[in-house]
Amino acid sequence: MLLIDCPWCGSRAETEFSYGGEAGIVRPADPDALSDAEWADYLFNRTNPRGAHRELWNHAQGCRRWFGVERDTVTYRIARSFTLPDAAGAADGGVERDFETGDPTDAEPGDRR
Amino acid sequence: MTGAQPNRLPTGGRVDRSRPLGFRFDGNALQGFAGDTLASALIANDVQLVGRSFKLRRPRGIVGSGAEEPNAILQIGEGATAQPNLRATQVPLRDGLVARTTRGWPGVRFDVGAINDTFGRLLGAGFYYKTFMYPRAWWKLYEHAIRRSAGFGAAPTAPDPDCYEHMNAHCDVLVAGGGPAGLMAALTAAKSGARVILADEQNEFGGGLLACTDQVDGAPAAEWVAAVVDELGDCADCTLLPRSTVFGYHDHNFLTIAERCRDHPDGSADAFSATNRPAAGDDSTAGRQHDPRNGRTAKGPDDHPDSGAAAGHHQDTVQPVKERLWRIRARQVVLAQGSFERPLVFCNNDRPGVMLASAVSTWINRYAVLPGRRAVVFTNNDSAYRAALDLTEAGAEVAAVVDSRRGGAGELGRKALDLGIPVLQGHVVSDVAGRQRVSGASIARWAGDGWATVKPTMRIDCDLVVMSGGYSPAVHLHSQAGGQLDWDESQLGFLPAKSVQANVSAGAGNGKSSLAECLADGVRAGAETVSKLGLEPSPIEAPAAGNIDENPIEALWRVPAVRDADRCPKQFIDFQNDTSVADIKLAVREGYRNVEHVKRYTALGFGTDQGKLGNINGMAVLADILGKSIPEVGTTTFRPAYTPVSFGVGAGESVGELYEPVRKTAIHEWHEAAGAPMEVVGQWHRPWYFPRDGEDMHAAVARECLAVRNSVGIMDASTLGKIDAAGPDVVEFLERIYTHDVGLMKVGRCAYGIMLGEDGMLMDDGVMARRGEHRFYLTTTTGGAANVLDWLEKWLQTEWPELQVYLTSLTEHYSTIAVAGPHSRRVLDKLGCDIALDNESFPFMRMKPATLAGIPVTLFRVSFSGELAYEINIENSLALAMWEKLMDAGREFEITPYGTETMHVLRAEKGYVIVGQDTDGSVTPVDLGMNRLLSNEKDFLGKRSLRRPDCLREDRKQLVGLLSSDARTVLPEGTQLIDEAGSLARGHRRAKRPAWRGSQLGHRSREPIPMCGHVTSSYQSACLGHPIALALVAGGQSRKGATIHAALPGRDPLPVEIVAPVFYDAGGQRQHV
Ligand SMILES: [Zn+2]
């Protein structure tokens, strides 16, 4: 059972959280402009990496906030948690922050590796 | 025979001869002493035969003394508390214990299945797979017969009356195993200030020291153990858990421990004392704090003579906890689980009376029982000489030590010679005689080739064969944690290598063999873990213990026999699964190379063994046959559980009433008093129907339906999900979520809203209302309430943080009472309402705050039945009073309470779908004919997907109504629909097989018939007088009027007509009056 760091509550057992899939999947601004293939790519295709994976978690039985986690899909080791861009962040293009250091994370939101 | 205990030694051991304990084994009354295990007591009573083997039904005796025991797998207890498949070596003896063998019919001495042994050559690896394959439909019969003849223990059929519980705990250092290394690691960590939990599977701490004749720190080993345990007990933050098996090592240093609380010699008290609890409360992540003295699972009745107040399902007595599951999050883990001695692989090595050397020493030194009078000791290493010395010391004769090594043993070998024990170096035991008990051993010269044939040079009479093939570190937990293993050629074993979690191994489990090394390794491991925690390791020195010189072990994986492995008597590798050398050879011959495949084909390491006893021998023999090295072949994967865990401890408190939370509405007690059976929907207990005077469900539902259609009914709809959505951007947000034009709704308007997943499939539905410019009231399905809130939050938080919207769940705060039927307005009028209720003032799909019977409510004019109807939203505390007032006011109209079943019939008559019943995650709103709900003016979640080619297919399954051609048959929900009756039709069938009754065998002989859809909802409609059904049918919307067929079990396919999915009041006038 994973031990997950909620940026607002601290370390809690996995059973308190629900999983939200890969982080950084940005909804296309104009879905109608997309071809079927492009839309299907947004809808279905995920990177599914072997190794570091940025993913969304919700502290469903706690503060109910969504946040990001970088987890290794082989060892299940969690490198860090990060907060998602807030309204201000969204306005300036979005900045994810490592919740321990407060530093911007290296990845841009929507950055799909 | 009671009290005789012929094999009990007069002195020594850790048993209390002043406390005799009576027990029964296969009906015989026997006696042992406090401190015995069931196995040691059986040996004390000279019981040799403890079972029959799994496949070949060979007689089997006790081999080991711990978790590795493969044969003494017994059924303990009777009736509801019986426990199958327990290892006698791990069952502490208690007074009145009842045990029986589980294998062999009619009994272990004479077993009808033993003929399998005679024909054993036909029962090789994969026998079941090969023989019982065809015809496939008979597999169920085979399986039943095989399982019965295998004779595993029987699961009790009555509910388990015992109490179990779960406990969460955190610690700095968890030490698994309380032998010399574990004790020293725990002591070092605790003295350094770490919070420590020490768990050991045995009744007492000490591990191998309890059966050891050595001195530690100048004192007998057991005395030293007692002193260390005392010292640990005095540490402020050290929790001692004896009788506790660490059986699982999961992600992020989460470990699970099964504690057997009632395994005390007196069979009652709970080991979990107040002085012995983990410190708690200072860790923000600590689980619930549970004081067993206050909870329903308090200590034994003796401790609480007057505590009858315990809740739960045991009302009269407070039950002591039988087993406790510890769920532990440890910052660091020390694995000190010791090692397993390996058997040697020679002919008939499974005969009762062939035992592991370590077990023999344990029987003598710890339990003071002598398992034989005249022994042959067979070894490829020094350790077995200890058993020879112990046997001699205890008065038995050691006829010979047969050592495969030309150079023999070191210091222990010289001791044996001093005692006059004959030692045959460079020899092996190639075969043993005796069937139900060993009677002799054949000795042959060992030339170093395991696959050569040999001629025995002599035979020695004996009643005990002691064997040692070296030791395998117990790497199970290390491996479960993801750690790697390295093959050590000098020790001939896999040792723990790199860890991927925060754990270190110590002692015998880390490849240390001498006592002195194990003690020192424990100190090292303890110091290493506390350093990682940032603590200063307390300067502790390992106690002095004799280090003796030993000669190295020699590889001896298969002992040569008179014939080759296929034709010689069986050489067992895995006793429990009857896997022999010949089986592994056969598997390789049939093409299996990978160790995991060979394991599955031969069942090697299955069952309770899980790689404890036969694993390395099996790998080695496989490697030998394949011409590879053992590390090249590798080992199989270790998975939890290390030893079997009972279902009871897995379930813990979550049984009966506590199985899952029960959600009740504010009006629940009224429904109960009215005698309504309950239907559980998303943990809510909802009244299903309200039977009167012996009515069955059909009669009650018919009456309730007619009441709503003709007069007035009342329903508790409080379980619907309710969400308040507010904020400056709420309209924009809901426009993106819902498919209709939310912005066009005026304040006070209601709308039926649906939301889709991004894949375009219907996700949830419900009425939503605009309460203000920037405030909406959303309802969801009962089961979807939590999911919808999560879904909305996810979009707000992760995708659209710029939208200012606040969501609040109101589900638990407000009750909803639906009053439905042509007389519903008159009921409300009669109660006194401060707003005008006529159709012009308060038309369909409006909401208004109002005062009803003097109570503030919110009134919704919405309808899920198609009738004139109102939904009254009211604060929970006033809901029951309102319900009773409505019942009073409605009496003159015979107001009728109705439940979920009637609600379903009424909505089906109107063709309203239930999400999750008529849809299944693959249904779009277009499939449901809801096109008018899809806005063309905006984007919404899932909209783009509706243009995907798959969503545009004309043969998608679409919602339709169905009418049975006989106007009588209520189609079972889930019924498969087919276009043509085809070969299922009677005429066709009669020609082929007149007596066919629709059995599975019959079906197999026919051509498959493609289905075109299935029935999703089906009821008898009381007001229409015939059955109705909703269905999803391929291209159904354009097939109105067509006849298709319903495939019904055991009868002819029934023609059904496709109709529109609205059966009643298609124009919808009744709700607009
Ligand atoms: Zn949180």
- Phi, psi at residue B476, to the nearest 5°? -55, -50
Domain extent, residue A21, equals 3-98
For A84, which of B797, B804, B949 is closest by C-beta distance? B797
Q: What's the gap in Å between the CA of B716 and the closest CA on chain A?
A: 28
Using CA atoms, how far residue B775 sits from B474, B728, B785, B873, B940, in Å, is 63, 9, 19, 16, 19
Nearest Cα to Cα of residue B298 among B314, B318, B312, B278: B318
Task: Tell me the average pLDDT of chain A.
Answer: 88
Q: How many CB atoms lie within 10 A of CB B534?
A: 6
| Confidence at residue B269, expressed as pLDDT on a 0 to 100 scale | 42
- Please name the residue that has the structure tokens 């540490």: B235
The pLDDT score that the predictor gives to residue B250 is 96
What residues in A contact B329, CB-CB < 8 Å?
3, 13
In this structure, the strands spanning B16-25 and B83-87 are: unpaired
Indicate the pairing of strand A66-72 with strand A52-58. antiparallel
Which chain A residues are closer than 8 Å to B250 by Cβ?
A: 1
Residues 312-331 (B) with a CB less than 8 A from some CB of A:
329
Question: Is the minimum CB–CB distance between B136 and chain A shorter than 8 Å?
Answer: no
Distance CA B914, CA B489 (A): 66
- Are B983 and B1006 a contacting pair, CB within 8 Å? yes
Identify the residue whose tokens are 């200890």.
B386
Q: Is A58 within a domain? A: yes
- Ranges in chain B, pLDDT < 50: 1-2, 105-106, 265-316, 987-1005
Contact A84 B285 (CB under 8 A): no
Distance in angstroms (rounded) separating the CA atoms of residues B483 and B751: 58
Residues of B in contact with A3 (CB under 8 A): 252-254, 285, 329
Which of A6, A27, A46 has the highest number of chain B CBs within 10 A, making it the mutation to test binding with B?
Answer: A27
Q: CA of A77 to nearest chain B CA: how many angstroms apart? A: 8
Three-point CA angle B345, B346, B351, nearest 5°: 100
A8 part of contact set with chain B, CB < 8 Å: no
Q: Which domains does chain B have, with CATH numbers?
A: 16-150 (3.10.20.440), 163-299+317-340+473-551+646-659 (3.50.50.60), 662-719+813-835+861-918 (3.30.1360.120), 721-810+922-950 (3.30.70.1400), 953-1070 (2.40.30.110)
- Helix axes of B411-418 and B384-393: crossing angle, nearest 10 degrees: 30
Is residue A113 domain-resident?
A: no
Dihedral over alpha carbons B943, B944, B946, B950 (to 10 degrees): -160
Asked if residue A50 belongs to a domain, the reply is yes
Q: For chain A, what percentages of helix, strand and coil (3-state, to nearest 5) are there?
A: 20, 30, 50
Tell whether A93 is covered by a domain.
yes
Give the pLDDT of residue B342. Answer: 97
CA distance A2 to chain B (A): 5
In single-letter form, the type of residue at position B947 comes to R
State the DSSP string of B749-805: BEEEEEEE-TTS-EEEEEEEEEEETTEEEEEE-TTTHHHHHHHHHHIIIII-TTS--
Q: Quick check: B254 and A10 CB within 8 A?
A: no
Q: What is the ipTM of this complex?
A: 0.92
User: Is residue B301 reached through a cis peptide bond, with omega within 30 degrees of 0 on the bond before it?
Assistant: no
Domain of A31: which CATH number? 3.30.2270.10
Q: What six digits make up the tokens of B590?
A: 């049939």
Decide if B628 touches A, using CB distance below 8 A: no
pLDDT at B281: 37
| Angle made by CA atoms B683, B689, B695, in degrees to the nearest 5 | 140
- In a domain, residue A105? The reply is no
Question: Smallest CA–CA separation between B761 and chain A, in Å?
Answer: 12
Q: How far apart are CA B942 and CA B412, in angstroms?
A: 79
Whether B638 contacts B480, CB under 8 Å: yes
Instruction: Mark B118-143 as b/e (b = at least 16 C-beta within 10 Å).
Output: eebeebbbbeeeeeeeeeeeeeeeee
The answer to whether the Cβ–Cβ distance between B285 and A10 falls below 8 Å is: yes
- Best probe of the A interface among B166, B167, B171, B252, by most A CBs < 10 A, is B252
Confirm or reject contact between A32 and chain B (CB < 8 A): yes
Q: Please judge whether B794 and A66 are an interchain contact, meaning their C-beta atoms are less than 8 angstroms apart.
A: yes
- Residues with CB in 5 Å of ion ligand 1: A 6, 8-9, 59, 62-63
Contact A84 B947 (CB under 8 A): no
Q: Give CA–CA dist B365/B1071, Å, rounded.
A: 88
d(CA B651, CA B272): 20
Number of structural domains, chain A? 1
* pLDDT value for B409: 96
Give the chain A residue whose CA is nearest to the CA of B791: A20
pTM: 0.87
Which residues of B fall within a CB distance of 8 Å from A40? 948
Of A1, A31, A34, the CB nearest to B252: A1
| A-chain residues near B943 (CB < 8 A) | 31
| B contacts of A32 (beta carbons < 8 Å) | 939, 944
Contact B879, B852 (CB under 8 A): no
**Model pLDDT for residues B760-773, shown as the tens digit of each residue:** 999 999 999 999 99
Average pLDDT over residues A46-65: 95
CB of B437 within 8 A of CB of B411?
no
The distance between the two most distant Cα atoms of chain B, rounded to a whole number of Å, is 115
**B939 chain-A contacts, CB cut-off 8 A:** 31-32
Cβ contact, residue pair A3, B254, below 8 Å: yes
Whether residue B288 lies within 8 A of chain A, CB to CB, comes out as no
Residues of A in contact with B251 (CB under 8 A): 1-2, 76
Three-class secondary structure of residue B1048 per DSSP: coil
Residue A103 within any structural domain of the chain: no
Helix (H) or strand (E) holding B569: none
Q: Tell me the CA distances in angstroms from B251 to A78, A80, B325, B392, one per residue in order.
A: 11, 16, 17, 48
> Cβ–Cβ contacts within 10 Å for residue B623, how many?
18
Q: How far is the CA of B726 from the centre of ligand 1 (A)?
A: 23
Contact (CB<8Å) B797/A75: no
Sign of CA dihedral B8, B9, B10, B16: negative
Whether A55 is in a domain gets the answer yes
d(CA A4, CA A8): 11
User: Is residue A4 within 8 Å of A14, Cβ to Cβ?
Assistant: yes
> Which residue among A26, A75, A90 sits closest to B801, beta carbon to beta carbon?
A90
User: How is residue B956 written in tokens?
Assistant: 């998608």
Instruction: Report if residue A104 sits inside a domain.
Output: no
